Amino acid sequence: MAFQMLLNFFLAFLWMFFKTSFTPAAFVVGYFWGLVILFIFRSYFPYRFYLHRVWAVIKLFFLFIKELVLSNITVLKLVLKPKVNIKPGIFALPTDLQKDWEIMLLGNLITLTPGTLTVDVSDDNKVLYIHAVHIDDVKDSVDSIKNTFEKAIMEVSR
Amino acid sequence: MTEIYEVIIGLFIIIGALISIVATIGAIRFPDVYTRNHAISKSTTLGVLMILLGALFYFMFFEGQFNSRIVLTMLFIFMTAPVSGHLIGRAAYNSGVKLAQQSVTDELARDRKKVKQSKSI
């Protein structure tokens, strides 16, 4: 990914030198044409075309914003109920992610969405322990995180 | 046109303030450290975010400049808030703070016991 991006920057600067105009607009145009060239030659790179990954990052970001707002509303509802009848608890989330930064990202995203908080990571980096404000069913909670965040992160790192 | 901007900016800031208030109420009403940690460290993220968005729109519409420092503030809040939340929870658990009585599961205690047993054998 880094190599393709560097190549794209190089093509953009090349375009600027060809046009002899060193404005940001020329850079943007050059970057676009560089992107087109990279797209045409995408099958010759060892890794997939890097815009896929950029797109996955954008999708992850919007998924996160959606989850942030939705779960905030859930927690606000719990707080404002006349009787606080919550069922907190710590559940284990076995994760398929392997690299350190993926697990860090998953833990941080879980902690940022209200209602769930990463308390601990097991020594072998395979299980995340998550404290949740309200657990109806442990399996449901695990599945909901697995299907949203973990899937989106895998999409990025694949 | 100015009125519309004023209403939008006001809405953002009021919603942000409301979320912060509810988070504080939650800190009083919830039973133990972990649940209070939820109420404070997270809902404030969205509350502060809303207030900052209001400030950003104010500078954009009335002063005519895109204030990049506010965007940076948002970024740093997103980077630091989960770390502090995680550390508070972890420190509380490791120093032996018990979960509230309503708690339904504690799989971390179960798994730690297992590890201890396997080590002693």
pLDDT digits (tens, 9 = 90+) for A41-51: 888 887 777 88
Q: What is the mean pLDDT of residues B80-93?
A: 86
Cα(B121)–Cα(B105) distance, integer angstroms? 26
Percent pLDDT > 70 in chain B is 98
Buried b (16+ CB within 10 A) or exposed e, A42-66: eeeeeeebbeebeebeeebeebbee
- Interchain proximity A118–B89, CB inside 8 Å: yes
Smallest Cα distance from A14 to chain B, Å: 30
Chain A residues with CB under 8 Å of B34 CB are 88, 117, 119, 131
Q: Is B23 on the interface with A (CB under 8 A)?
A: yes
- pLDDT for the residue B121: 61
pLDDT over threshold 80, residue B83: yes
Q: How confident is the model at residue B11 (pLDDT cuts 50, 70, 90)?
A: very high
Among the listed residues A76, A86, A99, the one whose alpha carbon sits nearest the alpha carbon of residue A131: A86
Q: Is B76 on the interface with A (CB under 8 A)?
A: no
Angle between helix axes A2-19 and A24-40 (nearest 10 degrees) is 130
**Token pair for B51:** 């207030």
- Least CA distance to B40: which residue of chain A? A114
- pLDDT for the residue B26: 83
Number of compact structural domains in chain B = 1
Q: Is the ipTM value over 0.90, yes or no?
A: no
pLDDT over threshold 80, residue B23: yes
> Cα B73–A74–B57 angle (5° rounding)?
30
Q: In what order do the strands lie in the sheet with A127-132?
A: A89-94, A127-132, A116-121
Chain A residues with CB under 8 Å of B81 CB are 111-112
Angle between helix axes B2-29 and B33-58 (nearest 10 degrees) is 170
Helix (H) and strand (E) counts in chain B: 4, 0
User: In which residue are the tokens 């100015």 written?
Assistant: B2
Q: How confident is the model at residue A116 (pLDDT cuts 50, 70, 90)?
A: confident
Cα(B51)–Cα(B9) distance, integer angstroms? 9
pLDDT over threshold 80, residue A34: yes
pLDDT over threshold 90, residue B13: yes
Q: For residues A25 and B104, which has the higher predicted lDDT (pLDDT)? A: A25
Cα(B64)–Cα(B112) distance, integer angstroms? 57
- Nearest 5°: phi and psi at A70? -60, -45
- pLDDT for the residue B109: 74
Least CB–CB distance from B93: residue in A109, A119, A127? A119
Least CB–CB distance from B86: residue in A84, A118, A138? A118
Smallest Cα distance from B59 to chain A, Å: 23
**Token pair for B97:** 């703070």
pLDDT over threshold 90, residue A92: no
Helix (H) and strand (E) counts in chain A: 6, 3
Output the pTM of the full model.
0.77
Task: Look up the domain containing B66 and give its range.
Answer: 2-120
Residue of B105, B110, B114 to mutate, testing the A interface (most A Cβ within 10 Å of its Cβ): B105
Convert the pLDDT of each residue in A120-129 to its tens digit.
888 888 888 8
In 10 A of CB A23, how many CB atoms?
10
Percent pLDDT > 70 in chain A is 100
Of A26-35, A117-126, B102-111, the one with minimum mean pLDDT is B102-111
Residue of B15, B32, B74, B86 to mutate, testing the A interface (most A Cβ within 10 Å of its Cβ): B86
User: In which residue are the tokens 């879980």 written?
Assistant: A110
pLDDT over threshold 80, residue B112: no
- Interchain proximity A89–B103, CB inside 8 Å: yes
User: Would you say A30 and A13 are in contact if contact means Cβ atoms under 8 Å apart?
Assistant: yes
- Least CA distance to A93: which residue of chain B? B107
Give start and end residues of each alpha helix (H) in A20-121: 24-40, 50-80, 100-112
Q: What is the mean pLDDT of residues B9-30?
A: 88
